[in-house]
Amino acid sequence: MSTKTLTIQASAHSIKSVTVFKSSRAEVVRSFPITLQRGINKLEIKSLPTNIYAVRTSGLGTTARLDDFLCTVGRDKSAIHDKESSSEIVRALTQKKESLESEKNVRAQELALLNKYSQTLTGEHVSPSELTKFLQTFVEQSRQIIQASAELDEKIVQIGREIDSKRMNARKGDTMSKIDAVITSDEDISVVLGITYIVKDCSWDATYELRTTTESGKPSSSVALHYLATVKQRTGEDWTNAVLTLSTNQTDMLPKSLPRIGRFQIRQARPLGNLFGPPSKGVVFRSAAQNNANTSRFQQQVTGGSLFGGPPNQASASNAMPGAAFGSNGLFGQSNPATTSLFGGFGGSVDASSFATGVAPPPPPPAVFAQDTTVQETPFGATAMADPEQASPDDFEEVLYEEGPSDNNTQPTVVVKETPLSMNFSVSETANIPSDGLGHQVTLAVIPFQTKISHITIPRIDPRIYLQCDVKNTSEYKLLQGPVSVIIDDSYMSTTFLGNDINPGDNFVCLLGNDPATKVVYTRTSKTVRVDGGAFADDHNITTYTQRVSVYNKHSFDINDLVVHDSVPTCEDSRVKVILRKPEGLAEAKNAVILDVGHKGLKVGWADPTDGNGGREEGNLRWAWKVVAGETVSMLTEYEVKVPRGINWVINHIPNNT
């Protein structure tokens, strides 16, 4: 029985489909139509990617069977000399260029020899008629040599450009793998052999175009999100007319064996205020009775004074009240009336020892290590005592901490681990992704959305109004993180970024650029008054700051959703007091509380801490108003800063990098 040998050049057959994973790998499906004879057939498939692995076959059916299969990875040296390969084409072009350059050198020598011969002619040996004939021949021959040299120069330039083009467009990656298979068939038959394998050096990332239009300068509430993907690959083979699928699955990232659970051990807690760095991660159990003992010990020492409110009042632990950060006893609250001492001194009550020396007692020194107490501290330093919980000595409290030091009042951290679900995006049309390592863009979907447009400004940082759209993902697609190009009226405006994956039903925001038809003016003035403290109080300065934001609407339509962010400074030094005067009532308000100031719908409140702008604890406030077309509105913030005299104080800007 004779043996049939089949040799297939993989590059001569197009790829059927490709699935690109997020782990820089792809699954490639190829099909090769072959004709088998009855008996033994030897098959060789050449020019497969060098980084190929996990190869499998299909399509033989029941008539033919695979007796032997061998995939030789990266050892097919004959692929280097394939006349269709880029390297072989460049080699042939280079050889042709060198041949033309050699011919040009011969022409140059021919012209030099002709010139040299002409210099040997003299009137003694050559008659005038012969000299005339020689000159005609000399000129004609020189012209032919010069013309031939010019043509050679042009050919050399063209071949050089072709070489540069081939090198630039050469496929990245090698195809030096091959498959050798032995197939036994019971009869003569034609089959389509399927080859599926995994390759490396490929990736894809999500990218977007947010497109919208305007009418008389007003952005439309309807937007179209073009869900795109940038695909790169340098596997060594071009994906031509292939069905492309993009998957979020992290193939090959799964563990090769089941994880071991190990064991969990109860041990004594380390000090939470570790001097040499944060404590190690873990779950620590502490006795609740020990917590109560520490609490009773510290209740004899801690006072309930506020860091930035009125003067601290020393009291026993049983009478200590939590200080509000921005309330009457808080950071931006009104100054508490001083408790009059025996000599009328300014400030809180002082014990007898302080009058004996004439000096107020110093605050207790900070502990090097954090103590295990139930002392609570408000966001701006006001110390308050928490009521200890009644627990039996056998009770335990479980505290889970991650990085920084914690205290007994820390809420338990809930750790959620989910099985990652993969998504597959099928490109509607066949794709052509060459193996060049460059990013090629394909369209996944065009999704219409309804959006809410807001006009937002942070004038203290940048006195411009930005257009921000709030979009709810009403589609069935999960929007992966990636850059978003904003296109308004077919003109590029800006690029923003989706920092997190957006699930169906979630909201995301995108900046549409700034609004050139609005004008923002931010002014801040200050006035300082010197106050003498008297015999028993320090001299100090009180500076009143006034911040005014004015917004002028040049549009022909009303701006109904103006948002203005402003800030009041904070300080962690107990010697500095900040008292918020205007807007009225904001000092006592909590986060998420919106105050109606009473000026034609003007509202104010502390910024939402969850949106990255801080909130009450950072002194960031948020105005909300409307601006009628062609009119100007103003918002006023006023606060006082009381500092000891003789020390230079400055207001530093701390950027928010979150």
Question: What is the per-residue pLDDT across 321-342, written as a single tens digit (0 to 9) for each?
Answer: 333 444 444 455 544 444 433 3
Q: Which residue has the higher pLDDT, 278 or 110?
A: 110
Q: Which residue has the higher pLDDT, 656 or 118?
A: 118
Q: What is d(CA 522, CA 461) in angstroms, rounded to the nearest whole number?
A: 10
CATH of 3-83+175-200 given 3.30.420, 2.60.120, 1.10.530, 1.25.10: 2.60.120
Q: Indicate yes or no: pTM above 0.75.
A: no
Contacts of 25 (CB under 8 A, 6+ apart): 198, 199, 200, 202, 251, 252
- 467 has pLDDT over 50: yes
Q: Which residue has the higher pLDDT, 116 or 340?
A: 116
- Other residues' Cβ atoms within 10 Å of the Cβ of residue 470: 13
Give the distance between the most distant pair of CA atoms in the chain: 140
- Determine the residue type at 138: F
Contacts of 293 (CB under 8 A, 6+ apart): none
Helix (H) or strand (E) holding 95: helix 86-118
Closest CA to 305 of 288, 283, 322: 322
* 649-653 mean pLDDT: 80
Residue 324: exposed, middle, or buried by beta-carbon count in 10 A (0-12, 13-18, 19+)?
buried
* 432-449 mean pLDDT: 91
Question: In the predicted model, what is the mean pLDDT of the chain?
Answer: 76
Q: What is d(CA 336, CA 541) in angstroms, rounded to the nearest whole number?
A: 18
Residue 51: exposed, middle, or buried by beta-carbon count in 10 A (0-12, 13-18, 19+)?
buried
Q: Strand pairing of 620-627 and 491-498? A: unpaired
Closest CA to 571 of 331, 265, 226: 331
Q: What is d(CA 269, CA 92) in angstroms, rounded to the nearest whole number?
A: 74
> What pLDDT does residue 2 have?
77
Q: What is d(CA 585, CA 549) in angstroms, rounded to the nearest whole number?
A: 19
Q: What is d(CA 176, CA 78) in angstroms, rounded to the nearest whole number?
A: 8
> What pLDDT does residue 164 have?
85
Lowest mean pLDDT among 139-148, 376-385, 640-649: 376-385
> What pLDDT does residue 71 have?
86
Peptide bond into 583 cis (omega under 30): yes
| pLDDT tens-place string over residues 291-318 | 444 444 434 443 444 333 444 444 433 3
- Determine the residue type at 629: A
Contacts of 107 (CB under 8 A, 6+ apart): 145, 148, 149, 152
> What pLDDT does residue 208 have?
95
Fill in the DSSP letter of residue 386. P
- 136 has pLDDT over 50: yes
Fill in the DSSP letter of residue 502. B
Contacts of 161 (CB under 8 A, 6+ apart): none
Residues above pLDDT 70, as percent of the chain: 71
Q: What is d(CA 463, CA 621) in angstroms, rounded to the nearest whole number?
A: 16
Q: What is d(CA 104, CA 60) in angstroms, rounded to the nearest whole number?
A: 59
* 463-484 mean pLDDT: 91
Q: Which residue has the higher pLDDT, 650 or 548?
A: 548
Are 486 and 511 within 8 A, CB to CB?
yes
- 555 has pLDDT over 60: yes
Lowest mean pLDDT among 250-259, 558-567, 602-611: 250-259
* 526-546 mean pLDDT: 82
